[in-house]
Amino acid sequence: MNFIDKLLNISRKNKTLLCIGLDPNPDLMPKVDTLKFNTAIIDATSDLVCAYKPNLAFYEALGIEGLTILQKTIEHIPANIPIIGDAKRGDIGNTAKAYARALFSVFGFDAATVNPYLGFDSIEPFISYQDKGIFILCRTSNPSARDFQNLRCPTGLPLYEMVAHKAKEWNAHGNIGLVVGATYPEELKKIRSLCPQMCLLIPGIGTQGGDLALAVSYGIDAQGEKAIINVSRRILYASREEDFAQAARNTAEGIRKQINSVLASCLKAN
């Protein structure tokens, strides 16, 4: 089963567009083993999500032990839930091949985030895994995204729009999606209009302050799907006490209800 089919199957089964970022930060976590923290979060929320998204930085920061924790975390996630490796890789062709092999063949992620700055040959090795999802950074959620992404190209378009156009051009296998931050709703709306069929990974809800209602209404496709609304810290650290897993579930359930309420209104209006 390819990534898109796997995503849509679980999204429909769980009635959700919510993705949880598994980003364990020792400074914010309760006093519990990192692997136990991850598995408890997964056990408490697996019926509420359409995907999990571990950010590799939090595991690499723990050294070799962290990579072992990452692998065991991946193994603990139910097989029908897609896992997005948030690695933001981007390098010259031969190195990109090694990165793609590591993410897809070694760790077994269903999808990965990639950086398009080096152009097509840095992304092609990922795209060649036709059953995997490739999320190209387009309009990122951070405040300094405008430093480069707003710059005008010779075409007159801002760079982030050119990335969207290039992604469409490269999407021969139908496995490319885009990362578009909820903190830039008008840009999200524009990108959805440019790429009506693509899957969008939408971070920035919660701690970063993105508007959930706009993220859902501007991010979904015509069928009310293919928008992955990622929330990390707000769910993971809902409590730093022994009840952290239940608190995470309660928060995730509340966010899913908010998403579904907006989604119902959007579909009714259409």
Q: Would you name the residues annotated as active-site residues?
A: 88
Query: What is the bridge-based pairing of β-strands 227-231 and 51-52?
Result: unpaired
Cβ-Cβ contacts under 8 Å for 132 (sequence gap 6 or more) = 2, 3, 104, 109, 110, 111, 112, 126, 175
Nearest 10 degrees: Cα torsion 139, 59, 122, 227:
-40
Alpha-carbon distances of 68 from 12, 118, 162, rounded to whole Å: 32, 30, 38
Spatial distance between the Cα atoms of 120 and 169, rounded to a whole number of angstroms:
10
Q: How many CB atoms lie within 10 A of CB 221?
A: 15
The token duo for 102 is 């590591």
What single DSSP character describes residue 113?
E
